[in-house]
Each structure stands twice: as structure tokens, then as C-alpha cells.
Amino acid sequence: MTRERGGPLGESWQAWTALAVGVLAVTAHSALSIAVSVLMKAMVADFAWNRGEFAFTMTARMIAMISVVAFAGQLTDRIGARRVLATGALLMAIGIAGMSRVTCWSALLAVSLVIGVGQACVGSVAASALVLRLFRHRAGLAVGILNGGDNLLNSVVPITAAATLPLWGWRGTLFGVAGAYLVLAGLIMAALGADDGRSAAAREHLPIRLRDVPWRDGRLWTLLLGYAVVYAYITSIQLHFHAFQTDLGRSPAVASRLLSTQILVGALGAPLFGLMAERTSARAALVAVVGGLAATSVMTWTVTSTGGFALWAVLHGLVNSGTVALLALVLHDLFDPRQIGRLMGVASVSCMTATILGNQFTAWTFDTFHSYRPAWQFYTGLLVFALVPILRLNGRRRVMAEAATDHVRA
């Protein structure tokens, strides 16, 4: 018997509660990277590293994430989101606490690996499966809120990190972040049910295998290629924008406000693109997002004024926030919804691999040319190129309520 609805918009209160927890989990996935972008200069100066060496530890974290993220999606399908998300938050708390106490580069590398495994478990892979399986009619809006809420909460991270840095130093700031992740782990266990986010196939004791993902479907590879380009760019912006702005002569406070603005605007952009996916198609919304990113990427190497970058922050924030939400919705629209955990895990492997390459390339560009401008120009070309495979996706328009066949049953 289907669980009763009783909450807003015809969805159950259980679904809305899961969405709130999912927002916190997705926020937790990216909050550390945003905080580290503010703390990077202080950490590098403390140990006399260059930015390429520091970026390598971030790359190691992403490699650890890639190594387990597909299995995190598979585990979500099999055992539910609660244990996967809580384990991820706990591992991140341990890793970040260790990062706050490192005294050498090798120690930073070691704790980065722990954090990477935690990030694979907490975030959009498990949270998207959780939301898509509980929402019957407004899945597009819900996934938009999932990622828009992430932007809303993360918008305060750069400002908070910049404010606490002179008071606590980078070590004290990171230790406070570790405590927040520990609280999140407990909240996840308390708020979610054991079966939330679990696949119907698991409840029916059917095999859940990564080899059953539609590897021979060209649409999957087309989507993975387009998203690899998008993620290389948006992650480079996320990790290097603060340093980029201070290199241009702006104060850390101004750079933090610009970064926070584009994150905050995303709180509106993600639900708007989720609604667009419901009313037109997820593919059409994705084309709009990638086209918008291509346009705003031009601004990164043509704009010079603070006001111009404030406009960039608004426009980039709107389109950037739709990327993760639309990935889940396009996968849900094109393929078997019962495999959403595994599909998100596989897609995350591609996205994170591109993230590694993009981050290393951007850091190498700065260390070589002492400027980020060549990197931003290169990304403009890649984003225009990415529109080609995305335009070739042939997904039919489908109402989310009809597509969602994997609902939780009592």
C-alpha cells in the first residue's frame, strides 16, 4: 500500500523531510571545497607550497571519491540513503578534523583521501536517489530545491570562512567545520527511515549490479561527455575564483562577496530549471544551462570591473546551479528510474575525473602564465563544444509523475 500523502503539493511529509535532509547533505558535499578556496592562500603560505602542490592534494581527494562513488550509488539502491549519507558525513568529520592538525604535506594528502571517500557517500548521488524515489508528482521541483538549497546554505560559507580566518586561523576554522559534519551525521540517522532511498529492486530481492547500467546506450556516453566538460569548468571556478579575484587586486572580502553572490543566486536558479524540466523537458533545460555557462565563461576573461563581475556572479549563479539537478533529472528521464543510484554514481565518476583534470589544468595554467586568463579562454571553447553532444540527446518529453515508477511502498 502506497504511503499516504499529507504534505504540500500532494507529496508526503516524509518526502519533504527527506528533501530537507538531502539539502543539508548536498550542501555538505561542496561546503568544504568552498571553504578551502578561501583558506588556500593561508595554508599554502604556512607550508611554503605552490598552488600546484596544494591542488594535487585536492586531486588525491577526488581520486578517492571517484574510486568509491559508483559503489556509493549502488549501496544507496541496495541499503537506502540513510546509512550511506551518515557514513559519508562521519568520514568527512574525521578527515577535516585531521586536516586542521596537519603539519606536513604528506599528512594533508592522507586526510584528503579520507575526506574523498566521505564525499563520495554524502551528497547528490544518494540524496538525488532519495528525493526521486519519494516524490511522486513534483520531482523536478524537488530536485531543483535540493540543489538550490545547497546554494542558499553554501552562500554563507565563503563569508564565514573569511571572517573566522583572522580570528581562528585556518586550523581553527577547519576544526569548526569538522564539528558541523559530525552533527550532520547524527541528524541524518535521526531523520531518515532505514528504507528511504532504497530501490524497489532491492525490496523485491532482485540483483543490483553496476554491469546492468546501459553501457551500450549512446545517449549515456553523450551525456557523460557533455557533463565532463561542464564539471571541469565549474569546479575550476569554484576552487580558484577567490584567488583569481584577489590576484586582480580585489580584497578578500570583496572576492568572498562575489563568490557568495553567485552561490546565493543559485538558490533560485536550481528550482527554476527544475520547473523548466517538468514543463518542457530535462534536455531542453540542460541545453539552456550549458549555453548560459558558455556565455558567462566569456565574461571571466573579458570583464575587468567589480561591477562587471557582480553581474557575472548573478548570471553564472543562475545557470551553474542547474547542472547537478538536471543531471539527475535527465538520467531519470532517459533511463530506468530504478537504477538512479547506480546511474548517478557512474555519472559522478565521469564528472569527478573531469574535475581532477580541470583543477590541475587551471592550477598549472596559473603557475605557468601567472594568470588564470588562458584557462578561462580554453573553457569557453570547451563549453561551446559541449553543446554539440547535448543537443543530440533524444529524450522524449515525459511528465515526472509518469516517469517515477520506483516509489516507496509501505
Residue type, 375: A
pLDDT score for 334: 86
Contact 141, 274 (CB under 8 A): yes
Q: Can you give the pLDDT at residue 297?
A: 94
Q: What is the pLDDT of residue 251?
A: 92
Angle at 21 between CA 18 and CA 27, to 5 degrees: 135
Sites in the chain below the pLDDT cut of 70? 1-6, 48-52, 200-208, 394-410
Provide the Cα torsion 197, 198, 201, 206; round to 10°.
160
The string of pLDDT tens digits covering residues 137-166 is 888 888 888 877 877 787 788 888 888 888
CA dist 325 and 76 (Å) reads: 18
Write down the pLDDT at residue 404.
42
| 299 CB neighbour count, 10 Å cutoff | 17
**Alpha-helix runs per DSSP H in 248-372:** 252-279, 282-302, 306-320, 322-334, 340-369
Q: Give which of 182, 199, 214 is closest to 91, Cα–Cα.
A: 182
For each of the domains in the chain, give its residue range(s) and CATH number, in order of start: 12-397 (1.20.1250.20)
Of 409, 395, 408, 397, the closest CA to residue 129 belongs to 408
Q: Report pLDDT digits (tens) over 98-109.
A: 998 888 878 888
Whole-Å CA distances, 5 to 13, 127, 179, 196, 407: 7, 20, 35, 15, 12
Q: Which residues pair with 300 in a beta bridge?
A: none
Report the alpha-carbon distance of residue 112 to residue 259 in Å, rounded.
Answer: 24
**In 192-217, alpha helices (H):** 200-203
What grid cell was written down for 10?
Answer: 500532494
pLDDT tens for residues 198-244? Answer: 776 666 555 667 778 888 888 898 899 899 999 999 989 988 988 89
